[in-house]
Amino acid sequence: MPRTARDVVFVDGVRTPFGKAGPKGLYAQTRADDMVVRAIRELMRRNPSLPPERVDEVAVAATTQIGDQGLTIGRSAAVLAGLPKSVPGFAVDRMCAGAMTAVTTTGAGIAFGSYDVAIAGGVEHMGRHPMGEGVDPNPRFLADKLVDPSALVMGSTAENLHDRFPGITKERADAYAVRSQRKVAEAYAAGRIQPDLVPTAVRSAEQGWGLATEDEPPRPGTTKESLAALKTPFRVHGNVTAGNAAGLNDGATACLLAAEDVARELGLAPRMRLVDFAFAGVEPEVMGVGPVPATEKLLARNALTMDDIGLIEINEAFAVQVLAFLEHFKIADDDARVNPWGGAIALGHPLASSGVRLMNQLSRLFEERTDVRFGLTTMCVGMGMGGTVLWENANWEGAK
């Protein structure tokens, strides 16, 4: 029997505070699966009108799917979170766009009618599982010259992007990074970021048990002068530093998606509608430019231009990657539509979890900006990809 696509809505999203990876980071002694379980439990607690048995799928992303990020983490996290054993789950890997792909995959299932309600998210414990742990790249990548050797080092791909866009100087990248830090500090001061955060138990050998209630990575006192003095580890006299790039981080995210009619039935208030999504491939050695073709594909398919987009949440893996996107679409570096509350340069980028952080922030912005109809969440992806999701504000005043 032919099926009619259903409207898919983003109902709610949460995340753990993000921590710095490493032996002194917030989550040094916390398991990755426990982090995402904490997010799922909080999501269910905040939405008491949702019967747990109505969850049809749990999709959780992780880039390094071994150890406490393995064992089909979507299913294992669902069981650990106390969802009924009848609720299935699966794992996703699209590197940085893992959580984004968890959302688009389950969202497509909802639109098709296979699910009514789904939980999607991601986790990355980069302290326990460093980027690239256990990988064995096929030697043909280099032997057959399928990719440039720099494609396997994310910082080097960012330096390559500086080469491709010579107008994006280190000074311009540093200025963008300072703005990101400032915007996050201002958003924290205004209480805008805290509602998404799930207080998470942590433990350290020095201080014993504690509670993580805010992000660890932000450096609110950052200045262009302090960034100018940092080393460029990926190239002598290069442009990419620890100050104009996201750090190595730990954290988990989760969000609740539903068919719009089911959400209304269950008393769940939609924040935004999933309109469409697109992924695209680019040369792996300049993976940071990936959001450009993904966004172009998406806008063209929906007969929109960038002028129709009122808010843009773009992942700040590197400042140069964001600036290349803005330059391509002729958007000013300080355009008010772009990451109004700051981004990953300040907040952190626990790889596979970050896509839902972007969605959480966009949904909160939509609540404040009922004059805005459309928004984007977009990000570059390792090995040469980009992903973009188009959202419609469920509270857009023009629909009334």
pLDDT tens track for 135-175: 899 999 989 999 999 998 999 999 999 999 999 999 999 99
Amino acid at 322: V
* 161 CB-near residues (< 8 Å, 6+ apart): 168, 286, 288, 289, 318, 320, 321, 324
Long-range contacts: 301-309, Cβ < 8 Å, 24+?
301/276, 302/275, 302/276, 302/390, 304/374, 304/390, 306/330, 306/331, 308/373, 308/374, 309/337, 309/374, 309/375, 309/376
Average pLDDT over the chain reads 96
One of 96, 125, 162, 255 is an active-site residue; which one? 96
- Given this model, what pLDDT does residue 3 score? 65
- What is the distance, to the nearest Å, from the Cα of residue 326 to the centroid of all Cα atoms in its chain? 18
Determine the Cα–Cα distance for residues 159 and 149; give it in Å rounded to an integer.
13
- Given this model, what pLDDT does residue 193 score? 97
What confidence tier does 186 reach under pLDDT thresholds 50, 70, 90? very high
pTM score, two decimals?
A: 0.97
Catalytic, 96? Answer yes
Determine the Cα–Cα distance for residues 193 and 335; give it in Å rounded to an integer.
20
Q: What is the mean pLDDT of residues 240-265?
A: 98
Catalytic, 349? Answer yes
One of 125, 129, 255, 380 is an active-site residue; which one? 380
Q: What is the mean pLDDT of residues 366-389?
A: 97
Q: What is the mean pLDDT of residues 7-33?
A: 96
- Judged against a pLDDT cut of 90, whether residue 327 lies above it is answered with yes
Give the length of the chain: 400
Determine the Cα–Cα distance for residues 380 and 274; give it in Å rounded to an integer.
20
Determine the Cα–Cα distance for residues 93 and 249; give it in Å rounded to an integer.
17
- Closest C-alpha among 134, 11, 138 to residue 62: 134
Neighbours of 182 (CB within 10 A): 16
